[in-house]
Amino acid sequence: MAALIAENFRFLSLFFKSKDVMIFNGLVALGTVGSEELFSVVAFNCPCSPARNYIYGLAAIGVPALALFLIGVIWNNHTWNLVAECHKRGTKNFSAAATFLLFGSIMGRASVAPITWSVISLLRGEAYICALSEFVKPSSLDKFPAESGAEVLAKFPCRDVPANLTKFRDEVTRRLRYESQLFGWLLIGIVAVLIFLTKCLKHCCSPLSYRQEAYWAQYRSNEDKLFRRTAEVHSRILAAKNVKQFFGFVALDKEEKELVQEFPVEGVQPSPQWNAITGVYIYRENKGFPLYSRLHKWAKGVEGNGPTPEGHELLFLAS
């Protein structure tokens, strides 16, 4: 049973690291929808009090969206590649367009979950109704009692109103839900148009053919998988070697013994090598030949980070 669970977790880990970014973004969106539904059922509780409604309604939409955005920025590998790039080499080797692409990639991917949260919140309408019910003008409601003001309107989301105001509560709720859902659909439309324009701009401005772009994506995916797998084996063998040197022996299982025998590790990579393969990478060519990653560039012995007379920089960010 434990082996089955471990295998399932391994499958999910590999799946979420898939090269298909659209599938990953779709799963993030679905997860956000489920979280929003759970939040609405369990946690959302409008205070139905003037002034508090507005703050609570905006917080119910904005604070989770902000938290999801920050989590998206933290989980994005480009964020830490950019940090490493600024720390080790600075951004002097990147043009304004390249810098814009970097931040656009980070912000775009991090925006999937918060935009989904905001859209679902607006389509449900509960937070919007809670926030703006007290601001409905009584004069816009036919035959609304003059003595009833913002305090009564603020209670409409909780249905805690006298029987003679029930029809006004239903009208206000229907009106605000219409506005909320309208904003939600408009947000979906705007995001869809932006995604479409971004994809068109990417393919129109890219100097690579569609097949070479697909090959580049496959190369990056395979390189990352092989690098992670090899790094895990290398670190395990190196750790076993050091433990054996300290204790005089090391307790290894059958699989680990086979790894130690098959892949002897004599040393470790110096920091300059790690620095050379770490950081932001913009597609480059050297003497007409493509360099698909920092590791590829290091393996070919190409020095420097900026464009050279023999090569040229193509401002097409690796995803």
Closest to 60 in 3D by CA, of 123, 134, 117:
117
Q: Residues 129, 205: contact at Cβ < 8 Å? A: no
Indicate the angle between helix axes 96-110 and 52-75, nearest 10 degrees: 120
Quick one: DSSP state of residue 113?
A: H
| pLDDT band, very low/low/confident/very high, at 315 (cuts 50, 70, 90) | very low
Answer yes or no: is 184 within a domain: yes
Same-domain status, 284 and 185: no
Q: Residues 250, 243: contact at Cβ < 8 Å? A: yes
Same-domain status, 77 and 188: yes
Same-domain status, 180 and 240: no
Same-domain status, 66 and 200: yes
Check whether 205 has a pLDDT greater than 80.
no
Check whether 4 has a pLDDT greater than 60.
no
Indicate the angle between helix axes 21-42 and 112-124, nearest 10 degrees: 40
**Which residues, 6+ apart, have CB-to-CB distance to 132 below 8 Å?**
54, 57, 176, 179
Same-domain status, 99 and 172: yes
Pick from 139-148, 180-189, 292-301 the range whose average pLDDT is largest: 180-189
Examine the fold and report which residue of 181, 205, 229 is the final residue of a domain before the chain moves on: 205
Answer yes or no: is 310 within a domain: no
Same-domain status, 216 and 169: no
Check whether 176 has a pLDDT greater than 90.
yes
Same-domain status, 193 and 71: yes
Examine the fold and report which residue of 187, 205, 223 is the final residue of a domain before the chain moves on: 205
Answer yes or no: is 97 within a domain: yes
In the prediction, which pLDDT does 313 show? 44
Query: Strand order of the sheet with strand 282-286?
Result: 289-291, 282-286, 311-317
Same-domain status, 120 and 232: no
How many domains does the chain fold into? 2
Same-domain status, 215 and 192: no
Mean pLDDT computed over 217-241:
93
Same-domain status, 101 and 242: no
Answer yes or no: is 86 within a domain: yes
Same-domain status, 227 and 189: no
Answer yes or no: is 4 within a domain: no
Range of the domain at 143: 31-205
Answer yes or no: is 313 within a domain: no
Same-domain status, 154 and 235: no
Pick from 40-44, 175-179, 195-199, 306-310 the range whose average pLDDT is largest: 175-179
Examine the fold and report which residue of 142, 175, 205 is the final residue of a domain before the chain moves on: 205
In the prediction, which pLDDT does 310 show? 39
Question: Which tens digits make up the pLDDT trace of 59-86?
Answer: 989 998 999 999 999 988 888 877 877 7
| CB crowding 147-179: b at 16 or more within 10 Å, else e | ebeeebbbbbbbeebeeebeebbebbbebbbee
Answer yes or no: is 271 within a domain: yes
Positive or negative, the CA dihedral 89, 90, 91, 92 is negative
Task: Considering only residues 33 and 128, tell me which one the structure prediction assigns the higher pLDDT.
Answer: 128
Tell me the H-state helices in 248-284.
254-262, 271-276
Diameter over CA atoms, the chain: 91
Mean pLDDT computed over 202-214:
82
Mean pLDDT computed over 122-129:
91
| pLDDT band, very low/low/confident/very high, at 192 (cuts 50, 70, 90) | very high
Q: Residues 172, 166: contact at Cβ < 8 Å? A: no
Answer yes or no: is 3 within a domain: no
